[in-house]
Amino acid sequence: MQRYLVYRVVQSLVTLLAISVIIFGLSRLSGNPVDALLPDNATPQEAAVVMHEWGLDRPLHVQYLAFIRNALRGNLGDSLKWPGETALGMVWQRLPATLQLGGFAIIISTLIAIPIGVLAAVNKGRLFDSFGKMVALLGQAVPPFWLGIVLIWTFSVHWNVFPTSGRGGFEHMVLPAIAMGWYQVAALMRLTRSSTLEVLDNEYIKLARLKGVPEWRVIWVHALRNAAIAPLTYFGVIIGYIFTGSVVIETVFAWPGTGLLAIEAIRARDYPVVQAVVLTFAVVFIIANLIVDILYAFVDPRIRYNDNEQSTP
């Protein structure tokens, strides 16, 4: 297990390095931030002074090495759009809002998807199974941003039940969390259904029923625990999607999180903030997947990791 963890950590660091190169290159494709910092009537001399102050006149490889060196020190530079603010500081200011909304979306997705998936498997071929398939189809076919707009029009504008935008109490989280987590409900429900169907055909489930174990215990204890491997794997993807999907949903609902910060930074060509946001997303995604890999052994004791990162029952 220790050698496996070391291998996964090294693999994660290499992935982060590759991501840093991609982020650094793509952020430069949006244009020169000096154009957004200076007025339209600025002279070339003034532009040259600003570029020198921010180190933008140096070769790209020199800028990248400086970026990596500063990142290892926890310094991702100062914001170009918000004077006096550091890029990482801006991310930390907005991150709690994204975690709050994302966490609520994950809870909603789990509470809806797991029971529907299990019940659809138990009632295979019946009416409830058809209902579950319809939920999965709609969830994967409806774009989150479109669903968000429809929810605003229906529950905020037409019925005036929830606020249209902004961050506040519980009522402010309901619509954006549903829009963000709806796709995950469909995917997680389908995984739970298929995994539960496979488990229900195993001999130990039949043996438990022959021994007179109550049906609810057979389904929700014995079957669900062994069927949780595939959904647990997907949780790493869910966490990553919640962060990346927050860019769209936070923009639609004007939720002041890191997703909206990324859009504002891109529009202002604020390289340091864009890099800080994407790197934060990457770190959270990688750590989430690493934690999921470790949890495998706790969910199913049959799983053991060897030096080649293979699992054997």
pLDDT exceeds 60 at position 308 = no
Amino acid making up residue 256? P
**Mind listing the pLDDT tens digit for each residue in 226-247?**
887 778 777 777 777 777 778 8
- Prediction pTM value: 0.78
The model's confidence at residue 296, banded by pLDDT at 50, 70 and 90, is: low
Amino acid making up residue 15? T
In the CATH hierarchy, which top-level class contains the domain 87-312? Answer: mainly alpha
Residues ≥6 apart with Cβ < 8 Å to 126: none
For residue 27, the tally of other CB atoms under 10 A from its CB is 20
pLDDT exceeds 60 at position 301 = no
Q: Once rounded to an integer, what is the mean pLDDT over residues 112-139?
A: 88
- CA distances 118 to 23, 186, 194, 228, 311, Å, are 40, 13, 9, 11, 26
Residues ≥6 apart with Cβ < 8 Å to 263: 247, 250, 251
Pairing relationship of beta strands 311-312 and 304-305 according to DSSP bridges: antiparallel
pLDDT exceeds 60 at position 262 = yes
Per-residue pLDDT at 253: 94
Per-residue pLDDT at 309: 45
- Check: CB of residue 77 under 8 Å from CB of residue 272: yes
pLDDT exceeds 60 at position 313 = no
The CB-based long-range contact list for 161-168 (8 Å cut-off, 24+ gap) reads 164/253, 165/253, 165/254, 165/255, 166/253, 166/254, 166/255, 166/256, 167/97, 167/255, 167/256, 167/257
Percent of the chain with pLDDT over 70: 90
Q: What is the 3-state secondary structure (H, E, C) of 121-132?
A: HHCCCCHHHHHH
Q: Once rounded to an integer, what is the mean pLDDT over residues 94-98?
A: 91
Tell me the C-alpha distance between 14 and 73, whole Å: 18
Amino acid making up residue 76? L
Residues ≥6 apart with Cβ < 8 Å to 292: 232, 233, 235, 236
Residue spans per domain, the chain: 87-312
Find which of 13-27, 44-58, 74-88, 139-153 is predicted with most confidence, using mean pLDDT: 139-153
The residue among 130, 251, 235, 237 whose CA lies nearest residue 179 is: 251
pLDDT exceeds 70 at position 307 = no
- The CA-based angle 194-198-199, given to 5 degrees, is 115
Tell me the C-alpha distance between 237 and 183, whole Å: 12
**Mind listing the pLDDT tens digit for each residue in 147-195?**
999 999 999 999 999 999 989 889 999 999 999 888 888 888 888 999 8
pLDDT exceeds 90 at position 9 = no
